[in-house]
Amino acid sequence: MTAVTGTNGNEGADMWDRRQIMVLVFAGAALQLSASAAMSAPGSGEAAKKDRPSQVEVIDGSEVKRVTLTEKAAQRLDIRTGEVGNEGTGRLITPYSSVVYDTAGGTWVYTVPKPLTYVRHSVVVEAIKGEKAYLKQGPPAGTKVVTVGVAELYGTEKGVGH
């Protein structure tokens, strides 16, 4: 019987290389199994979603989504709000800080339909004067809008950084 030798003439070298390869193969398989087990673990499904700082939900029939933050997340983002006003002429006014521009140049504000819940609403800006944006179209006067944390809400809704 002829022995298989390694490149340096040492029979043990080939055996050691094979053992190392087998260990690596088994280690890789174990990692894959543990990763898939972790993905199906109780803390990774619906329960984990409830523990997240934000929830993003599709609004039926709409291109925008509802963003809901935990109280702690809203505090961390320092979410602040203002209100859409109505100039004496009936023209809508919102704090300019409430306006966010999307990548296509569209203009939006985040309304606050209920505490810790934010929904992007399309606006048409007529003019910007100082810290006020005058709107041709937008949510009605009296609507609560986000003035600080707008970009962070937009990133959350769009999944930026996730």
pLDDT, averaged in runs of 10, over the chain (162 residues): 53 52 42 39 51 92 95 96 91 97 96 98 97 97 98 93 60
pLDDT value for 137: 96
Contact assessment for residue 54 and residue 73, using Cβ atoms and an 8 Å cutoff: yes
Q: Which of 90, 86, 91, 120 is nearest to 106 (CA)?
A: 120
Q: Within 13 Å and on the Cβ side, how many CA atoms surround 123?
A: 32
Strand intervals (E) in the chain = 54-58, 65-69, 80-83, 85-86, 92-95, 100-101, 107-114, 117-129, 132-137, 144-148
How far apart are the C-alpha atoms of 127 and 129, rounded to whole Å? 6
In this structure, what token pair is assigned to residue 21?
């390869």
Q: Would you say the C-alpha torsion 135, 139, 145, 148 has a positive or negative sign?
A: negative
How far apart are the C-alpha atoms of 99 and 109, rounded to whole Å? 5
pLDDT value for 98: 98
pLDDT value for 24: 43
pLDDT value for 20: 52
The secondary structure of the chain in percent helix, strand, coil, rounded to multiples of 5, reads: 35, 35, 30
Say which residue the tokens 């990774």 belong to: 44
pLDDT value for 7: 52
pLDDT value for 51: 73
